[in-house]
Amino acid sequence: MRIEIKFGGFGGQGIITMGHIAGKACIYDERNVVFTPSYGPEARGGAASSNIVISDEEIDYPYVTYPDILVVMSQEAYEKYAPLLKEEGLLIIDEDLVRLKNGEGRVAKIPATRIAENLGKRIVTNIVMLGFFTGVTKLISYDAIKKAVLETVPAKFKELNEKALDEGYKRGIEWQEE
Amino acid sequence: MQVKFYSGNIACAEGAIAAGCRFFAGYPITPSSEIAEHMALRLPQVGGIFIQMEDELASMAAILGASWGGAKAMTATSGPGFSLMQENIGLGAMTETPCVVVNVQRAGPSTGMPTLVGQADVMQARWGSHGDYEIIALSPSSPQECFDLTIRAFNLAEEYRVPVIVLMDESVSHMFEKVIIPPKEKIRIVNRKKPRVPPDEFLPYKADDFIPPMACAGEGYSVHVTGLTHDEKGYPQATSPEVQERLVRRLCDKIRKNERKMRDIEEYEMEDAEIAIVSFGTTARSAKAAVKFARKKGYKVGLIRLKTIWPFPDEYFESLDGIKKFLVVEVNYGQIKLEVERNVGKNRVELLPKMGGEIHTPEEIYKKIREVLQWK
């Protein structure tokens, strides 16, 4: 089955890194995956998105059109991409950064930025979100995402990133159990 | 064997290194910049040289020089830079200099859409420089093929002594996918033919089988490199139509007459196909999805994906008698379409063009298949 995922936010939040790590993790899980970062003149503060297609079959068309899962970390990204989300799709948001309008389907919320700040560095917000995404969707195994995160981040921040991932993942599992 | 998660650009750079490329000269340009960036990182690690030149004219000149110095050399660019390289690509064709030029196509003409996809440099790749010559151009559809076909590009450049163009597109260049890197001993590497005679008997442009052996600077053989029409010694003969006749015929024939050996086509669902989609690069992925969908609906549609674009497989297309219609899908206003028409006749060819900025969706192609089916 083909699953389309979109991560959206503003430049500097690590949206592209998130997509790259998630894509890499799919490789460790031995699944077919294509990752396409948004690519444009946007600098820090502009819109950024990561697009991932996961499938057990060969992936032909590489782009995301109507995501099954949309992860948004800014109001702008929410307003831009939420209308594209499939009707039965899942919306994942940073609840401090996105104010929902009416008529949402399934939503999973996490104060990812706040959690990251409490861990000591706001820069790991994306990893908190990635952990949450992994726990909520179970599309990627925990071992694979952990391996991909630790391989990507600088050596001296491994511990912090691991904590961020675990905190997000834990909350994702909790959300699932509810 | 290593499994990597690479973009097309990085896979291309790694393919070059695996092929033995040890010299890169370039001028970074979107959407090819990551190739230069990655080569700047990797080449010093393997004892190679990376040099950022002042522009694309110089970049192309530098790789020709490096090749004559004995190195396997590459540059990477996009449309506007590719235009600037044309003069020296012609010099490379005339002087039979093995080298690889990567053109990550964006939408043009001119500066066009720097960050978005195009496939409109197909004809430019063939005859962008003046004069008559033949060239080789390859078109990858995935990061894996960016790796594999860049190696192939080096091998063909060495074998045929010609600049080889890797015609990527923005979509494949920025797409990340699994790339399998085979162990070194499993990668086939071709090196240029060396002279077998003593230096005093060596004629640098004497070819027994279209392709002369190549002696590089410092190997003890006389080396003469000129863009002027030259004889077998390499001496300019710029007023001799006989020498021109012999030389240019050979430059073209060494590619034309070896087309069969360079042919590289993926056929998908072609056994009983009545309609064949012809496509290449990232666009071919959408075409494949459309074929799969059409097959589920019972339509006899197949896909011909060109991995080698130049030389064009004329004989192959001539042999496809059973195909009622060819539908060419490309991100330009009909360039490969002209080649298909030339071989199978105008009335058997339909075009689904796109001017650039995005690739076709499978739905768009499927819709066109339905249209063509009603006309056939």
Closest CA to A49 of A32, A23, A79, A72: A72
Residue range of the domain that includes B351? 264-375
Helix residue ranges, H only, chain B? 8-19, 33-42, 56-68, 79-94, 122-127, 143-160, 170-174, 241-256, 259-262, 283-296, 314-318, 336-344, 362-375
Could you give the 3-state DSSP secondary structure of residue B23?
strand
pLDDT in tens, B275-318: 999 999 999 999 999 999 999 999 999 999 999 999 999 999 99
User: E-strand spans in A24-176?
Assistant: 32-37, 47-55, 69-72, 90-94, 106-110
Res A39 pLDDT > 80: no
Of B151, B167, B186, the position where a domain reaches its end is B186
Angle value at C-alpha B105, between B100 and B109, nearest 5 degrees:
120
pLDDT: which is higher, A104 or B172: B172
**Would you say residue B158 lies in a domain?**
yes
Q: How many distinct structural domains can be found in chain B?
A: 2
CATH number for the domain including B308?
3.40.50.920
**Would you say residue B224 lies in a domain?**
no
Best residue of B3, B5, B32 to probe chain A, by most A CBs closer than 10 Å: B5
Q: Is A23 on the interface with B (CB under 8 A)?
A: yes
Of B125, B160, B186, the position where a domain reaches its end is B186
CB atoms within 10 A of CB B295: 15
Res A43 pLDDT > 60: no
Q: How far apart are CA A87 and CA B339, in angstroms?
A: 45
- Asked if B282's CB is within 8 angstroms of A23's CB, the reply is no
DSSP code, position B96: T
For residue B110, what are its two tokens? 């001119």
pLDDT in tens, B95-147: 999 999 999 999 999 999 999 999 999 999 999 999 999 999 999 999 999 99
**Would you say residue B51 lies in a domain?**
yes
Q: Is A41 on the interface with B (CB under 8 A)?
A: yes
Closest CA to B282 of B79, B119, B82: B119
Best residue of B4, B177, B286 to probe chain A, by most A CBs closer than 10 Å: B177
**pLDDT reported for residue A41:** 65
pLDDT in tens, B234-252: 999 999 999 999 999 999 9
CATH number for the domain including B9?
3.40.50.970
> Using a CB-CB distance cutoff of 8 angstroms, which residues of chain B are in contact with residue A151?
none
Helices (H) and strands (E) in chain A, counts: 6, 6
**Does the domain at residues A3-98+105-177 carry the CATH identifier 3.40.920.10?**
yes
**pLDDT reported for residue A102:** 73
Q: Is A52 on the interface with B (CB under 8 A)?
A: no
For residue B216, what are its two tokens? 């590089």
Distances (CA, A) of B178 to A26, A34, A162: 10, 8, 25
Same domain flag for B177 and B292: no
**Cβ atoms of B8 and B147 closer than 8 Å:** no
Same domain flag for B105 and B11: yes
- Asked if B178's CB is within 8 angstroms of A32's CB, the reply is yes
**pLDDT reported for residue A104:** 73
Least Cα separation, residue A47 to chain B (angstroms) = 15
Domain spans, chain A: 3-98+105-177
Q: Is A30 on the interface with B (CB under 8 A)?
A: no
